[in-house]
Amino acid sequence: MGTSVQDLIAQSKGKKNKRFIEKLIPVILFLIASVSVLTTIGIIMTLIVETITFFTKVSVTDFLFGTTWLPFSNKQELYGIWPLIVGTLKVTLIAVIVAVPIGISAAIYLSEYASERVRRIIKPILEVLAGIPTIVYGFFALTFVTPLLQTFFPEVKIFNAISPGIVVGIMIIPMIASLSEDAMSSVPKHIREGALALGSTKFEVAIKVILPAAVSGIVASVVLAVSRAIGETMIVSLAGGSTPKFDGTFTDSIQTMTAYIVQVSKGDAGYGTTIYYSIYAVGFTLFIFTMLMNILAQYVSKRFREEY
């Protein structure tokens, strides 16, 4: 039987509709993908505009090179950013000292020693640490880690840099362990077998063969974890204190960049005041730090990537 005119018209309309949908889908997907880009641009523009407003009230030189941060002073407000930067770096340094050895060791065990069954049990448990709210970590640092430290080191104050640093380190262990384990597992099996065939022990294979082969992924995971530690808020706000200091002491109260933002955001400063605009200047400084860390992670990942 021949196709009727009505059937031909219906088929033609169906093809037109299909072509229209095919053309519309990329547009919709592009708009959806643009949301994250536009959001990032909006955040950056907000930070830049409000930071410029802050610098109309405070000298750029005083902000970048000053070593005293006293925004709530009754006599003279001082906005030298370095005490906040030093407080942030103190916590980050301790977090790295705690997280890197444990995270990489856990990755080596999961990748080279653990059986498939053990890996399926341990890896989800590690990832549970990443899902714990940071405010819980903060109270854990304040009510458990700090008293424990004071038992062995009485000079440690209730608010200090060591306690939040340790807990931030615990928090970023899953990131280092998981990403490093993925990098080690991607190393081809024949490289392991070749090293073992030459007489290497399993530990020597892990340290001298697998680690160098997966160094790009491992370093990238560490840099990303450090970026996460720099931007941590609730742990340092609860356990670190609110005393910005430009010194090398780890046992006294400190204040990080994120902790200061939280302090002002609670309502300690009125809208439009210099203190209000200072949180954008501090936030922009923090943004620069994290952006540089992410750029470094991408560079290391590309520079030392091994192709198999």
Q: In the numeric block, which tokens belong to residue 215?
A: 């160094």
What residues have CB less than 8 Å from 102, skipping those under 6 apart?
A: 169, 173, 177
Contact 62, 79 (CB under 8 A): yes
How high is the pLDDT of residue 268? 63
Query: Quick one: angle between helices 82-108 and 162-185, nearest 10?
Result: 40
How high is the pLDDT of residue 91? 92
How high is the pLDDT of residue 5? 52
How high is the pLDDT of residue 71? 82
Beta bridge partner(s), residue 84? none
Which residue type occupies 54? F
How high is the pLDDT of residue 3? 56
Question: How are beta strands 78-79 and 69-70 bridged, if at all?
Answer: antiparallel
Helices (H), the chain: 5-55, 60-65, 82-108, 116-131, 134-140, 146-152, 162-185, 189-197, 202-205, 211-213, 215-230, 234-239, 257-263, 274-303
User: Which parts of the chain have pLDDT scores under 50?
Assistant: 1
How high is the pLDDT of residue 267? 67
The 3-state DSSP class for residue 73 equals coil
